[in-house]
Amino acid sequence: MRGVAIIGCAMTKFGRSDLSLMELMGESSLGALRDADLGDRPVDAVYVANMGAARLNKQTAIASALVDRLNLFPAMAEAVENGPASGASAFKNGFQAVASEMADIVLVTGGERMREVNNLEVTDFVASLSHPEAEYIYGVTLPALAGMFARLYMDRYGVTAEHLAMVAIKNQENALKNPYAHIQQEITMEGILHAPEAVVNNPLIADPLRLYDCCPVSDGAASLVLCPLEMAQQMGKQIVKVTGLGQATDTHAVHERPDPTQLTAVRLAAQKAFAMAGLTPKEIDLAELHDAFTILEIAQSEEAGFFKKGEGHLALEKGITSLSGELPINPSGGLKARGHPVGATGVAQLVELVWQLRGEAGKRQVEGAKNAFACNFGGFGNNVVATVLKRED
């Protein structure tokens, strides 16, 4: 298996867009291809990550459509749908294509246009990833699953509403330094939890989760260009190498897990990625975790091996995961504040890691970052992809 490098990346601003899904994906793809500066080298394959185009945007076969839009003929092309982990799954497919020598240059683009439909419909669309007979038919939504998970976590490990709010405040503060982030708003503990008005400012969505514990519904796209490590070295690029990739699955229905607070697929995917990279969690300089709900950042920070089980919230409390801490988590703002166009998220996490490793993250730059980790969480933890990237000096 040959080494793989990321030589180009770009994303659109996340949020509410007037652009179509294809326009969004076209914009980020062109940005990544410009960044890669390929000259006359052809793109051999295109992997498109998306979860809902058929339902939300009435469009199918979007990989072929993107190739056509970008005039990348006769590149191989296919779409990858793996729920909210579609982005990292598409990236994994791209990695495999380059590593196996099936392709030299691969474009990976994730995109979603969710604001096309109203909030009720989009909540139902996301809920369609739950177990059809055991969860969905009973009206389960993702906020509901996350609410039950959070309640159990709070009871068992001493996580409080303040800890959840700390994640929200930290990630919204990080997002203020990220011009691509959906949410550009500072929030305070007083305003979202302690003031008498907090009940209106931050209403319950799914007890104990409140409005600011949940990610927004976003439109957006993100893209990466991959090539063999050797080719990147010949091009004289600042190289970001893909050193670890792991993926694992778990039961579809959350209640079938022996302990619903254990995110086994996160743990296994992370272990595989670290083993492949030859690193331990202690050697990671920053991480992008899948904080669709604030509780998930805390839980994933433990399952990925950064902190002991039940101690993620203590690390948060000590500021270890803040931008200036020992292990900044979600310097981009995470899903919570950068936004969560589901198919784009896994790719956007990696775009952030590449910017950080190349020293191009602006005001949110983690100084001296060399190894970085991402966790893209599909379903409610039933399909997880973990990635480790490294800056090659």
- Of positions 127, 134, 195, 314, contacts other proteins by CB under 8 A: 195
- Of positions 121, 197, 230, 326, contacts other proteins by CB under 8 A: 197
Q: Order of strands, edge to edge, in the sheet holding 4-11?
A: 76-80, 45-49, 106-113, 219-228, 4-11, 239-249, 383-392, 371-378, 286-288
Place of tokens 């009720």: 120
> Cα-atom radius of gyration of the chain, to the nearest Å?
19
Q: Determine contact, residues 380/134, Cβ cutoff 8 Å.
A: no
Nearer to other proteins, 203 or 278 (CB): 203
Q: Determine contact, residues 319/325, Cβ cutoff 8 Å.
A: yes
360 part of the interface to other proteins, by CB under 8 A: no
207 part of the interface to other proteins, by CB under 8 A: no
212 part of the interface to other proteins, by CB under 8 A: yes
Q: How many residues bind other proteins (CB under 8 A)?
A: 26
> To the nearest whole angstrom, how small is the minimum distance from the Cβ of residue 386 to other proteins?
29
177 part of the interface to other proteins, by CB under 8 A: no
Would you tell me how many other CB atoms lie within 10 Å of the CB of residue 104? 16
> To the nearest whole angstrom, how small is the minimum distance from the Cβ of residue 90 to other proteins?
23
121 part of the interface to other proteins, by CB under 8 A: no
CB-side neighbour CA atoms (13 Å) of 205: 21
Nearer to other proteins, 131 or 163 (CB): 163
Terminus-to-terminus CA distance in the chain, angstroms? Answer: 21
162 part of the interface to other proteins, by CB under 8 A: no
Q: Cβ-count burial of 136 within 10 angstroms (0-12 exposed, 13-18 middle, 19+ buried)?
A: middle
Nearer to other proteins, 194 or 255 (CB): 194
Would you tell me how many other CB atoms lie within 10 Å of the CB of residue 255? 11
> To the nearest whole angstrom, how small is the minimum distance from the Cβ of residue 168 to other proteins?
10
185 part of the interface to other proteins, by CB under 8 A: yes
Nearer to other proteins, 177 or 252 (CB): 177
* Binding residues vs other proteins (CB under 8 A): 13, 15-16, 118-119, 179-180, 183-188, 190-192, 195-203, 212
